[in-house]
Each structure stands twice: as C-alpha cells, then as structure tokens.
Amino acid sequence: KNEVEQSPQNLTAQEGEFITINCSYSVGISALHWLQQHPGGGIVSLFMLSSGKKKHGRLIATINIQEKHSSLHITASHPRDSAVYICAVGNPSGSRLTFGEGTQLTVNP
Amino acid sequence: KAGVTQTPRYLIKTRGQQVTLSCSPISGHRSVSWYQQTPGQGLQFLFEYFSETQRNKGNFPGRFSGRQFSNSRSEMNVSTLELGDSALYLCASSLADPTDTQYFGPGTRLTVL
C-alpha cells in the first residue's frame, strides 16, 4: 500500500461542474501539498496546508489531520483546469516529500 | 523574480553514457531537491541539497549523484545510463526546507536509447 493514495485516478467533467479530488495518507506529516502539472511537465504548487482549509480563486483545499485525509475542490470548472493534480506529504522531519500517483482531470467544454 | 531554470530541456543519450543536468534555483532559495518522474512510478525523490551539503537521499542506486555550489545552483549526474533512466527529471527549490512550498523547474526530459 502506498503511503499517499489519490482518488480518482482519472476524472472527466463538463465545464461548470464542481470537482473533488481526494488524498489519503498513512504516515505522520508536517504538511500536505497540492500540485498541478500541465502537459509538458511544468509543476505548480497550489496549496500547502497543515490544518483546516485554504481557498484561492475557484480552488479550495481542506485537510482533516485526524482522518489523514485531504480534498481538493474546484468550483465552476473550466477546460483550462485540465491537468494532473498531485497530492504530496512532507515527513515530520521536514526532509522530503512523498507523492501520490496523481489524478488526471479533463474538463470538456 | 526569475523562476527555477533547468538545462538542458531535452537530452538523448545511449546506454552506458553519463549525463549531467543543471538546476538554478530562485534567488535566495538554499534548498534544492531533485525528482524523477516516470509513467510507471510517478514522482520519486532523488536527493536534496542545502548549503552545498546533501541532507537527504532517496532510494536510488549510486549511479545517481549530485552536488550544490556556493551560489545554490545544483547539478545531478547519472553514470552508466540504463534504458530505465529515461524520465523527466525535475528540480525544485525552496527557502530552507524541502517540505516548504516548492517551486519547480520545467524539467529535463532524458531519453536513453
């Protein structure tokens, strides 16, 4: 079993739909990161959170430390949101990130 | 502020050769981490450098090595290339700690023939 698991692996949505991507982890963490990777490889850090909830534009990230679970929500999805979304956790000593396998999101117009 | 840069962007090598990849972090960032991304294994941690010292290393063979210079620029080297080394190699920089917000470079796509 991977230390970080994401679901779903693939997600197809229609423009305007509300999207949720889930991340569960089995180890202690210092913080959890949500990353976005567009075709071509570039990775952008969306959120880093260790508790509660953060919002940036149409993106919302939540984390439940007790349940070892985080969700990334996209409201009013748009085709430009099509990308791979990756969950990563930092270990408590702060020495490295461990990554989930990613969720491929496709938003159709 | 300029972002993280990586050179070269694309590289084709043959088995048995060696390769050196370069990463220039964001100015002021002292931590540089390297990752390998393949379709089968996803993103995997290679190593992390801080102030010219390797602080952490992932589970990769000794053919993979790196270093960091006094200006925080970093290089990674892969010797005796194997077909399975074909991957996207990403570096990321952060202020001090690899579990802080990381800023990724565009990657170097290495193809081993």
- Chain A residues within 8 A of B99 when measuring between CB atoms: 30-31, 90-91, 94-97
How high is the pLDDT of residue A64?
95
Q: What tokens does B16 get?
A: 């048995």
Q: Measuring CA to CA, which residue among B95, B108, B111, B113 is closest to residue B35?
A: B108
Q: Among A40, A42, A48, whose Cβ lies nearest the Cβ of B101? A: A48
pLDDT score recorded for residue A92: 81
What per-residue confidence (pLDDT) applies to B91? 96
Output the pLDDT for position A15. Answer: 97
What pLDDT, on the 0 to 100 scale, is given for residue A28? 86
Q: What is the pLDDT of residue B1?
A: 67
Return all residues near B67 (Cβ < 8 A) that are at least 6 apart.
B49, B52, B54, B74, B75
Per-residue pLDDT of chain A (109 residues; tens, 9 = 90+): 689 999 999 999 999 999 999 999 998 888 999 999 998 778 999 999 999 999 999 999 999 999 999 999 999 999 999 999 999 998 887 778 899 999 999 999 9
At which residue do the structure tokens 């290089």 appear? B75
Task: Look at residues B73, B99, B98 and name the one whose alpha carbon lies nearest to residue B4.
Answer: B73
Task: Provide the percentage of residues in chain A whose pLDDT is more than 70.
Answer: 99
- Length of chain B in residues, anyone? 113
Comparing alpha-carbon positions, the chain B residue that sits nearest to A34 is B101
Put simply, the answer to whether A42 touches B106 (Cβ < 8 Å) is: yes
Query: What pLDDT was estimated at residue A16?
Result: 97
Residue B84, classed as helix, strand or coil, is helix
Residue A52, number of CB atoms within 10 A of its CB: 10
Nearest C-alpha neighbor of A37 from the set A13, A24, A21, A17: A21
Q: How far apart are the first and last CA of chain B?
A: 37
Tell me the per-residue pLDDT of B76-102, one tens digit each, with 9 for 90 and over: 999 999 999 999 999 999 998 878 889
Alpha-carbon gap: A96 to the closest alpha carbon of chain B (Å): 6
Q: What does the alpha-carbon distance between residue B53 and residue B67 come to, in Å, rounded to a whole number?
A: 8
Residue of A nearest to B104 (CA): A43
Mean pLDDT of B30-57: 92
The predicted model gives B54-62 an average pLDDT of 93
pLDDT at A40: 77
CB–CB of A96 and B56 under 8 A?
A: yes
Portion 34-93 of B in contact with A at CB < 8 A: 37, 42-45, 48, 55-56, 58, 88, 90, 92
Nearest to A41 among B55, B56, B88 (CB): B88
- Provide DSSP, B24-53: EPPTT--EEEEEEEETTTEEEEEEEEETTE
Q: CA gyration radius for chain A?
A: 13
Chain B contact probe: residue of A50, A54, A91, A97 with most B CBs at under 10 A: A97
The region that residue A50 occupies, defined by phi over 0 for left and psi between -120 and 50 for alpha, beta otherwise, is alpha
